[in-house]
Amino acid sequence: MQALLYNPANGTVTPVRPGSAYPYGGFFLIRADVAGVSGQGVATGNIMLADSGLALDGGTFRLNAASNTEDQTRSLSPGVHVLTAAYSGDVSFNPSQSRPFAFTITKAQTNSLLQANTGYVSAGATVTLTVQINAQSFAMSGPGGFGAVAPGGRVTFTAGGVTLGNAVVTQNAYPAFTTDSGLVNFSFPASQLSVGNNTITASYSGDMNYQPSTSTPVGVYVTGSSLGLSATALSFLPIRSNPERTSFRSTTPATKIIPPVLRRPPRSLLSIQSALLLCLLRHQ
């Protein structure tokens, strides 16, 4: 029996070494060959593939014309895996079993990328954050992954040591997507941030297949909110001592508005008017 690690991003195949460790998210090709001790004849029948005693991908595989069979799997979870192949035998060949083939799958590393919809916002607005959690395993030059399950779990957002909230990761698994990844969109009121510069980070919790990771911080500047306008009611209260004066008094104690007082014409003007009237009466 032998195992190969297949990279669908570039088509390369790498032998799996017994006792070695590999991150989650790879395609494993497991091959079993049956041959007689004499080297003569072609074996037929079935092979049962098992992982630590449990049937692997259904377990039963038919030998081809070259007396071998293959299984391509990406369902190997983190932990120790002991693969075995058991041949059922046929009329010409006796049953047999392979030696155990053991190796370890570890949790895959992740990379969290954080973006904000704006870097400058008023305190009354809303901020939207987007985080992409990328699997780091077997794609080109390392990043990317092709496991049966994409990164899941939760992402927590903080600013200055204060938690803004958290959200569940949406899983985007290969082959529906280019590689395994997770995505989070999180919106919150900018009033949760301090006025001025704020540094926000996203922390991915990890799950049973993927390691935690923390994003590079992003900055968001918050301006103060606008001042609101208030109205005051005015009441008109006449003052009896002087009917020609009217006082306007606000219901707000601190506000009192008094318009200009209506004054009589000056005395000198009244004297001139009286003298003219007297002259006219004498000439009649």
Residue-by-residue DSSP string for 18-65:
TT-EEESS-EEEEEEE---TTS-S---SEEEEEETTEEEEEEEEE--T
65 and 91 assigned to the same domain = yes
Count: domains in the chain? 3
- Environment class of residue 156 by beta-carbon count within 10 Å: exposed (0-12), middle (13-18) or buried (19+)? middle
pLDDT for res 204: 98
Token pair 């983190």 is found at 78
Q: How confident is the model at residue 230 (pLDDT cuts 50, 70, 90)?
A: very low
Bridge partners of 183, per DSSP, are: 132, 170
Domain limits at 251?
231-261
pLDDT tens for 22-72 read 889 888 999 999 988 888 889 999 999 999 999 999 889 999 999 999 998
d(CA 44, CA 153): 46
Q: Which of 84, 106, 128 is the last residue of a domain?
A: 106
The token pair at 17 is 């070494």
Average pLDDT over residues 166-195: 94
Tokens 């000439």 map to which residue?
283
Band the pLDDT of 282: cuts 50, 70, 90. low
Confidence at residue 11, expressed as pLDDT on a 0 to 100 scale: 80
137 pLDDT band, cuts 50/70/90, is: confident
Question: Is residue 130 domain-resident?
Answer: yes
Residue located via tokens 């922390």: 203
pLDDT digits (tens, 9 = 90+) for 59-105: 899 999 999 999 988 879 999 999 999 999 999 999 999 999 999 99
pTM: 0.74
